[in-house]
Amino acid sequence: MQANIGKWVEMKAWLDVSVLRCPNCGRYYVEASWYVVEMESDIECGKCGKEFNSKRNALDRALLEFHLNENGKIQNVAISKHLELENK
């Protein structure tokens, strides 16, 4: 929290993320949703080495809420809400 004209203000930040799964070996990844949904990027699996399309292999999407201290350090993370996947 941060002092602001005699009041305490909770500091927060948000990040839209998507959960992906490699269709070849099943390894899970979490990426920023802009990379998955908007760019529809292909990624290479770090486990099996196969390339796959991130958007077509997205399983879930959520808005994460980060609670920060007065120095901008992360104190807690929570799921603010689940978001619709465009391809589901």
> In the prediction, which pLDDT does 73 show?
94
Determine the structural domain holding residue 73 and report its residue range.
Answer: 2-82
| Model pLDDT for residues 14-65, shown as the tens digit of each residue | 999 999 999 999 999 999 999 999 999 999 999 999 999 999 999 999 999 9
Element (H or E) spanning 33, and its range? helix 33-33
Contact between residue 27 and residue 50 where contact means Cβ atoms under 8 Å apart: no
Q: How confident is the model at residue 1 (pLDDT cuts 50, 70, 90)?
A: very low
Q: What is the pTM of this model?
A: 0.82
Q: How confident is the model at residue 5 (pLDDT cuts 50, 70, 90)?
A: low
Domains held by the chain: number = 1
Residue 21 in domain: yes
Residue 57 in domain: yes
